[in-house]
Chains A and B, each alone.
Chain A
Amino acid sequence: MFKRTLSLLLILMAVFTMGLAAEGQTDGAGGNPQYPKGVLDFVAPGGAGGGWDLTIRTTAKVLKDTGLVKVPMPVRNNPGAGGSVNLASLQEKEGSDKIVCVYSSPLILTKLNGTTDLGYEDVTPLARLIADYAVFVVAAGSEYKTMNDVMDALKSDIKSVKIGGISSVGSMDHIQFLMMAKAAGIKDLNQIDYVSFDDSATAQVLGGHIDVYSTGLSEVLGLIESGDLRALAQTADHRVGEGVVADIPTCVEQGINATFVNWRGLFGAPGMPEYAVTYWRETLAKLVETPEWEQARITNGWDDAYQDAPEFAEFLAQVNQEYTEILTDIGMIK
């Protein structure tokens, strides 16, 4: 009995001292003009090799190569539940000036579809950096030549076109298609069959198992270039990229008046100190002007979508509104 009490005491003491140490750190950094100092903590809320991982690693690399940030920026992966696991751990690091992480549309969707109670209000936006857009592809031999072909087929028989995507029902790949379908005048959105796959549905659309693959451009770029897949439309408000990518028409051009932007931006922990926010706003504004950054964007097929923190925050609120409407339409929000 005594042993147990003792070990409990020891654990409590250890936790307490750790808490104190963390406290001390924040105090020490308070109002420090020498920011950034020490080692920063860059976080990808998804696994290695994914889109978030690629974005934050590229950002860190360019920041280092251009000499904009001189302290080390090791990248850490904290995957789980569409980024929600990292969102939860960020709450424990409230007020930290070390953490910089990347998020994109799922930051908003995971809260709306009930995965987590935390959302974009629970992090500190620093800047929106890049965007890629949704693209809808079919196999080269498909009967669908334009986005309107798909919409017409859906209008005459809502079950006749099977849409595939990587994320689960109610998340990005699903929503981006529904936004277009809604704009095209399709009423019973919740009747559209969306099939969710795990890692990639590319093989499934190539093999003719699904009709349309709703995805991001980078996912299928190689196969569009080789002609194995045909891109029906992308969701920017303008043509993007060069070569075959620039040939992909927008939905707006085809009379479907809607856009979908998969933005990616950087965020700090909730309550990030003012000096740190200012530093990152200034640094990232410089970053997007460098030729190195432009080169990295072109290589990865990312569109420039820079927005400073205040406008970014407004943008987030507006996107939140749009997604809420769609999810209400398909009955996922009651």
Chain B
Amino acid sequence: MDTLAFLLDGFMVALTPMNLMWVSIGGLLGTIIGMLPGLGPATGVAVLLPLTFSMGPTAALITMGGVYYGAMYGGSRASILINTPGDGAAVAATFDGYPMTKQGRAESALAISAIASFIGGIFATFCMVAIAIPVARFALRFGPAEYFMLFLFALSATASMTEGNRLRGFIATILGLMIATIGIDGQSGVSRFTMGILELQSGIDFLIVIIAVYALGEVFKSFKNIDSGQATVQKSFGKIWISREEWKRSVWPILRSAPLGFFVGALPGAGGTMASLMSYNNEKQLSKHSEEFGDGAIEGLAAPESANNAASVGAMIPMLTLGIPGSGTTAVMMGALLLLGLQPGPMLFQQQPLIVWGLIASMFIGNIILAVMNIPLAGLLVRVLSVPPKILYPIVLGLSFVGAYAISYSVMDFFLLIGFGLLGYFMSRSKFPSTPMILAVIVGNNMEQSFRRAYKISDGSLGIFFASPICLILFSLTVISILYPLVKAGIAKRKTAEA
């Protein structure tokens, strides 16, 4: 009952005209920032930092929250329309979102992305109100061994992504893992494969690889026929909405992905990228139309979209309940809280209930405002597709470079961008799938470091990886996820043989 009373108080705070304005401005800003490649919610919030000094703590938090969810909504726009994910959490939206656009179904793709984001966000906010504390406590049971198993499970998605092309997929995965080893190794303090280049010490940001392979790769691919005008340009646009059939196919994936995203988001260090990739893989395994995945299956877009928005809400939990940053973005938000003279942590709920509950209430409001704002906005954005490639691609190229620079303000990243762009181009020419490589780059370093941490803690015994129920469950899921596509392929083969 207390919770409800606090929540109502929170709504009183969030519904004041000023705060409504801030959450809308934050949301709009976030949407725009999220759409640009490389500029994700963390950058958005960081850019906003100086502005928040002059606001009160409540308004500052609400605005930053707005930017955060706004960026989650916006992040996938570019994935869907031009195959250029705005940040890690939007990578999964390219898998089926971009194929949908190519088939002339961009309107449905944009609509389902906004709808799924909305449901994911609202669902997660309800969870937050109801079970924030227990979830935070449960997340503490994840030690290095559990994280290793979680990352391993995420990586096992490569098995289903490489159906029909296993050897090449495997090579691409290994390549990604190799890229992930570059930089200072925390457990020994030794620089690995940095070739004396200072900028490589902190490793290669996976966003650089993503922007390079997807955006630059796409541009390089179309270079050949950019003058011949072969690239299709969509001229007429329908309404931004989905059909009854599409809704039927998406509703369960959306509802299943929301709790998954919420929970993975609440794990410090896992976050929206992992959540969306895991939900994509799950849906692919569960779906009756799994052969359509990667070829414009609407549920393959709906699921990760729901998961990553739910994750952005979940990531607030460790910050608000324990004072632990749950993601890069919440780390910046925590810095802002400190600058505003607030101490994030378990006492925050007691000492500043209005601020915390104001933020939670603004999550409800922010998600509604963003959903309303995003449908008409999508109607405008979709017209990007009527821009001839000759004009569009140079713009994409420019945005990619700006985005790469914004990640760590390093000129070195330009060279990496070009290098990985070429790698992506040649990989696609010689039919190496790039997604397993990206996935390996994303989880590789975390997976390795978690393994080594666990190994150190257990004094070199592998038993620690099978010691807890969480480990065992995750391990079983990994085995299933690797074997399932093989078994399914085997059954299909037998069936055709019988027929």
Contacts and interface: CB of A to CB of B under 8 A. Distances in A.
B199 A226 contact: no
A80 B199 contact: yes
Interface string A43-63: 000011110011001100100
A79 B45 CA distance: 16
Given A48-B46, A222-B323, A222-B343, A196 B186 contact: yes
A75 B46 contact: no
Given A168-B184, A195-B456, A210-B457, A203 B140 contact: yes
B322 A202 contact: yes
A206 B459 CA distance: 20
Contacts of B53: 61
Contacts of B322: 202-203, 206, 222-223, 228
Contacts of B142: 203, 207
5 contacts: A48-B49, A48-B332, A168-B187, A169-B186, A198-B186
B457 A193 contact: yes
Of the listed residues B189, B344, B347, B410, the one surrounded by the most CB atoms of chain A closer than 10 A to its CB is B189
B198 A80 contact: yes
A57 B198 contact: no
A96 to B, nearest CB: 17
Contacts of A77: 46, 409
Interface stretch (B29-37, B82-90, B333-341, B389-397): B333-341
B269 interface: yes
Interface in A58-101: 58, 61, 74-82, 84-85, 88
Contacts of A239: none
A58 B339 contact: yes
B470 to A, nearest CB: 11
Interface in A157-175: 159, 162, 167-171
B416 interface: no
A297 B185 CA distance: 34
Shortest 9 CB-CB contacts between residues of A and residues of B: A222-B345, A49-B335, A209-B143, A196-B186, A48-B46, A207-B140, A81-B201, A169-B189, A170-B189
B49 A196 contact: no
B202 interface: yes
Contacts of B335: 48-50, 53-54
Contact of A49 (B144, B202, B332): B332
B201 A168 contact: no
A209 B268 contact: no
Contacts of A149: none
A221 interface: yes
B221 interface: no
Contacts of A254: none
B187 A299 contact: no
Nearest to A298: B341
B104 interface: no
A225 interface: yes
B139 interface: yes
Nearest to B338: A54
B331 interface: yes
B225 interface: no
Nearest to A221: B343
Contacts of B324: 200, 202-203
A213 B324 CA distance: 14
B410 A80 contact: yes
Given A48-B49, A85-B410, A332-B189, A228 B198 contact: no
A159 B460 CA distance: 11
B403 interface: no
B323 A49 contact: no
B346 interface: yes
A85 B183 CA distance: 14
Among the interface residues B45, B185, B187, B335, which one has the most CB atoms of the partner chain A within 10 A? B335
Contacts of B457: 162, 193, 195, 209-210
Contact of B187 (A50, A169, A210): A169
A35 interface: no
Contacts of B268: 199-200, 203
B428 interface: no
Nearest to A84: B198
A25 interface: no
Interface in B23-44: 42
A207 B191 CA distance: 30
Nearest to B337: A49
